[in-house]
Structure 1
Amino acid sequence: MNLAVVGATGLIGRPVTEQLIAAGYVVTILARDTEKARAMFPGVRVVAADLRNPDSLRAGLANQQAVYLNLSIKPDEKPDDFHTETDGLKTLLAEARQAGIQRIGYLSSLVMRYQGMNGFRWWAFEVKQEAVRLLKESGIPASIFYASTFMETLSMQVQGSWLPLAGHSEVAMWFIAGRDYGRQVARAFSLPGHENREYVIQGPEPLTYAAAAKVFAKHYPRQKLKIVTAPLGVLKLLGRFNRSIDYGAHILEALNGYPEQFEAAQDWIELGQPTLTLADYARQAP
């Protein structure tokens, strides 16, 4: 199968793309930063493409059978900005229909279900909900992956010898490694069917965020990490003056509050069971 990937150079897009290549798909990477993409994936076809530019997408989607989308809202975006998961997605879907794309895979999230719980409302979750609606109504069969928290987020939070956290939660999350998720995506594209499919993506062990941080710090090989925790209220206050901090505060509030339950048993049967524990991941984390 010829498979185009949008978002291959991102935190989760990279391990997914690596697993798609390993599974034998003929991957074409659609990227704005072509030099970065070629450096990450030597020998893989890279096409310059931008979700704002239909012509570039048309060239990138030519002769492809499927597309995988790893899109995200940037921490400094505003509600009325261009959003790849809605504005860009509309452009891509129009070009995908013209190109005869047979299936689209899309990374969504479990935590967006927190919208409306405990009075929580956030425009970014509205964008993610709209993306799901657009995909379901596109006329192209879509595989939508509702993922729990990725282990890679802990790597991203490391600041020198510090691992900063904010807020407190006693709710466990089923942390998943990007590599295991990538294998599941590769499997999903191989399954027959011409209908929309939705999968819950969860890892092998439930941990609160604080417990996960302790496991990560214990097994992180590069240096000794000190975990520091700030009150979420402080982050919210600072977020009034900084969009990126405000974004982080909303994400953490949702993660701390969402009552995640294990739902992936059937999806493990279809897509394969994740095997990488958080300790395993931490030992090889960048």
Structure 2
Amino acid sequence: MKKIAVIGGTGMIGRPVVQALHDAGFEVTALVRDEAKARKLLPAGIRYCTGDLRNVHDVDRALKDQDGIYLNLNLNLGDGKHAWHAEREGIDNIIAAAHKNKIKRIAIISSVVMNYQGMNGFHWWVFDLKKEALDKIRTAGIPYTIFYPSTFMENFMITYRKGNRILLAGTSHHKMYFIAGKDYGRWVVRSFEILKNENKEYFVQGPEGYTADEAANVFISNYTGEKLTISRAPLAVLKFVGLFSNTVNYGHHIIEALNTYPEKFQAEETWNTLGRPAITLADYARAVS
């Protein structure tokens, strides 16, 4: 494995993965819609293929002469169930192009919290879509790696933080094993280095478990950039507003699942095979201050 194509490389977790692949000496090709924007976010030396995942010919160009693919596919928050989705129609285009170009491995990031589907009467079409995407990967006939992350530390700077506030919603009942994007990027690199023809599925969890409130307090205590405070919104309010907004409805379901899913530590094999995570939440907070 020397040449890796990345789809979704400019997102919150796509960026540290691209950086890690580049630093490890892989030749990285990123399929992007806006090359100028991507160049501001990704390291120098990346090869770009401008195109759209909706167009199988663009995907085909991006995968030409590549050894493997890494996928970080997100749903657009404002889209509904029947819209075009990267993890549904986009997966079909990727698999078709992967077969045509004789790709040796597909790696994809998914989610551990989607296992909350069916618990306590919870059901959401987004988690059905994610499960269907993985079924397509598993049955494509190409060696695959699936990563199931817990919650990324980067959310504190990109999702939870609004100005000088950390926004929480509802009550977090169980501990989440926060992982840094940089540690995860190292694991993606190592998987491409060591895996041959086998199929592997890895849980992605960090060294410490916290509820959302505990994690927010750890982050605030170690963040020195400015004084941060916690603000909280009732989950019922988000549920009501979500009746009129796909974006808020998406956020409500994700937060409900995160708050209620009884996450167990399951990353022993990941740590033993790909390496132990090195970054604590306190470390991350100090680093981004």
Distance 2:244 2:284 in 1: 35
How far apart are 1:170 and its partner, in Å? 2.5
For residues 183-198 of structure 1, the aligned pairs below 5 Å read 183-198=186-201
CA root-mean-square deviation? 1.0
What is aligned with 2:96? Answer: 94
Structure 1 residue 134, shift from structure 2 partner: 0.5
| Number of the residue aligned with 1:69 | 71
Deviation of the 1:192 alpha carbon: 3.1
**1:230 lines up with 2:233 in the alignment:** yes
Tell me what 1:138 maps to: 140
Tell me the residue number matched to 1:117.
Answer: 119
SS at 2:106 equivalent: strand
Matched to 1:217, the amino acid is I
Q: Can you list the C-alpha shifts for 1:184-242, whole angstroms capped at 9, x where unaligned?
A: 00000111331321000100001111100111111222211110111111111111111
Residue 14 (structure 1) aligns with: 15
Question: TM-score scaled to structure 1, two decimals?
Answer: 0.98
Q: Secondary structure at the match of 2:109?
A: strand
- Mark the runs of 5 or more structure 2 residues left unpaired by the alignment: none
**Per-residue CA shift, 1:159-178, capped at 9, x if unaligned?**
11111100002300100011
Supply the distance in 2 between the matched residues of 1:201 and 1:90 (Cα, whole angstroms).
25
Which residue does the alignment assign to 1:30?
A: 31
What secondary structure sits across from 2:250 in the alignment?
Answer: helix
CA shift at 1:116, angstroms? 0.4
Give aligned pairs, total. 286
Aligned to 2:213: 210
Instruction: Give runs of aligned pairs for residues 234-273 of structure 1, distance below 5 A.
Output: 234-273=237-276
Aligned-partner SS, 2:162: coil
Stretches of 4+ aligned residues off by more than 3 angstroms: none
Report the alpha carbon displacement of residue 43 of structure 1 after superposing the two structures with TM: 2.5
Find the counterpart in structure 1 of residue 46 from structure 2.
44
Deviation of residue 50 (structure 1)? 1.3
Which stretch shifts more, 51-60 or 181-190? 51-60
TM-score (norm 2): 0.97
| Letter aligned with residue 263 of structure 1 | Q
Aligned partner of 1:126 in structure 2 is 128
Query: Cα distance, 1:182 vs. partner?
Result: 0.3
In structure 2, how many angstroms separate the alpha carbons of the residues matched to 1:204 and 1:21?
A: 25
Instruction: State the alpha-carbon separation in 2 of the partners of residues 260 and 26 from structure 1.
Output: 36
Q: Give 3-state SS (helix, strand or coil) of 1:109's partner.
A: coil
> Whole-Å Cα distance in 2 between the matches of residues 163 and 217 of structure 1?
9
Q: Given the alignment, which residue of 148, 158, 163 partners 1:160?
A: 163
Structure 1: stretches of 5+ with no match in the other structure: none
